[in-house]
Amino acid sequence: MSNESQDRVQEQAREAIRGSQGQHRGRQFALWMGALIIGAILGWLGIPALNQLFDFIATVFTRLFQFIAVPTIALAVITTLSALGAKKETGRIFAHAVTYTLLTTICAAAIGLVLYLWIAPGNLPVDLINSGVSNVPQKLEKVTYYDHFLSVIPNNMLQPFLSGNVLSVMLIAAAVGLALAFMPKTENRAVLLKGLLGLQEVLFTLIRALLWILPVGILAFSAQLSAQIEAGVIVGALGKYTLVILGGNLIQFFIVLPIFLVLRGLNPIYVFRKMAPAIAVALFTKSSAGTLPVTLASAEQRLNVHPQVSRFVLPICTTINMNGCAAFILVTSLFLMQNGGFDLSIGTMIAWLFVAVLAAIGNAGVPMGCYFLTLSLMSGIGAPIGIMGIILPIYTIIDMIETAENVWSDSAVCAMTDHDLASELDAQPAPAQH
């Protein structure tokens, strides 16, 4: 057989494999959507025994995500920095990721500010605010913003991993990764790197197994949410405030982020479809850090993002790219200050926009992270934190939508960075398609 014939046969084989993979992914996506719909219907039926089963399954999946998330973050950052630390691509990847993160986060906060000025939520009755104080989580109202940053600085190697402190884990991982990048190229270093890469392969095998059984988790999460809505748990009396928060999130999700992708030459529908599993998991787990294993797997296996980009950008974005959190911090802070009689000039609001952006960047990607951070900020300036107790019952739905938006933003930043730098990276998998 001639070389030309062999090449043709090999190309046909590759096309057949790609076609098979595309069909498999299509069936997988249909299975996830089916699980979502069926779960919503079963949860809405309100069968106690079935709801208890779904609560159990949802708890199991949440624990599995938490179990695998922290080591995934640590190993992804260590191995990527150790390999890229001395390369010029590292700085460019980081610069692109930070630039897109700042732009999207500022846009999210600005949309929240515009909606707040337009919808103009009124003040709450004083007696209602006072009654909300009892609902504020104990002692958290006394935590200052300085305390929040001090908690990020680790004082030993193991505690951040045991407590799931994502920012501390990131600091440790970045330090270790850079140390490996710039230390002498000895045999000990090579052995250590091989061990770390081997551990990372084990984690990705576990992630693939988790994706394989993910429809069961989606079924349970969807049923759990549907049962909560049907029972009247997720309701709110703060109509205009809630409208500002949710409206801003939806505008950022469906309009602003797709515009960013289009401007960079990417198809937002294609990117969304490929990253849909991660966005769905984020919606139900309410943790962008806990969703990271699925986000990484979706980016590399479905969107075909280069591993040098995905394993560097996504762990970083998990902790600094908080579009939904920035909008929540700004709108909630303005709402509390307004009810506390603070002078809210346009200049003050714009200043708080940048405070919210910086605070969101320093927030951990864990459930209710934005709530606790806002509580710390407001307690520090003497705002009426009783409102945080009133907000608490409706925060579940807000947290879900914010987290899904954060992961969608992470995915967009990763896809744009990969697209921008595709020609400079090693051609291992193909860059994100557009």
The answer as to whether 127 is a domain residue is yes
Query: Residue 395 is part of which domain span?
Result: 1-71+98-137+208-422
Tell me what the mean pLDDT of segment 203-229 comes to: 78
Question: Which residue is listed with tokens 């069968």?
Answer: 47
Give residue 431's pLDDT band: very low, low, confident or very high (50, 70, 90).
Answer: very low
* CATH code of the domain containing 258: 1.10.3860.10
- Does pLDDT of 141 surpass 50? no
- Does pLDDT of 109 surpass 90? yes
Angstrom distance (rounded) from CA 62 to CA 69: 10
The answer as to whether 292 is a domain residue is yes
The answer as to whether 56 is a domain residue is yes
What total of structural domains would you count in the chain? 1
The answer as to whether 149 is a domain residue is no
Higher per-residue pLDDT: 136 or 320: 320
The answer as to whether 194 is a domain residue is no
Angstrom distance (rounded) from CA 321 to CA 362: 9
- pLDDT tens by residue, 19-57: 445 555 567 667 877 887 888 888 888 788 888 898 888
Tally of CB atoms within 10 A around 132:
20
Q: What is the pTM of this model?
A: 0.74
The answer as to whether 133 is a domain residue is yes
Write down the pLDDT at residue 14. Answer: 45
| DSSP string across 137-178 | PTTGGG--HHHHHHHHS-SSSSHHHHHT-HHHHHHHHHHHHH
- CA 195 from chain center: how many Å? 28
- Does pLDDT of 360 surpass 50? yes
Question: Which residue is listed with tokens 């992270």?
Answer: 369
The answer as to whether 91 is a domain residue is no
Do the beta carbons of residue 344 and residue 390 sit within 8 Å?
A: no
Residue 175 burial (C-beta neighbours within 10 Å; 0-12, 13-18, 19+): middle
The answer as to whether 159 is a domain residue is no
- CA 344 from chain center: how many Å? 31
Tell me what the mean pLDDT of segment 193-208 comes to: 84
From residue 136, alpha-carbon distances to 140, 237, 327, 370, 385 in Å are 8, 17, 21, 14, 8
- pLDDT tens by residue, 172-185: 888 888 888 888 88
Do the beta carbons of residue 263 and residue 104 sit within 8 Å?
A: no
Determine the length of the chain: 434
Q: Which of 409, 410, 412, 401 is nearest to 434 (CA)?
A: 412
Q: In one letter, which amino acid is 154?
A: P
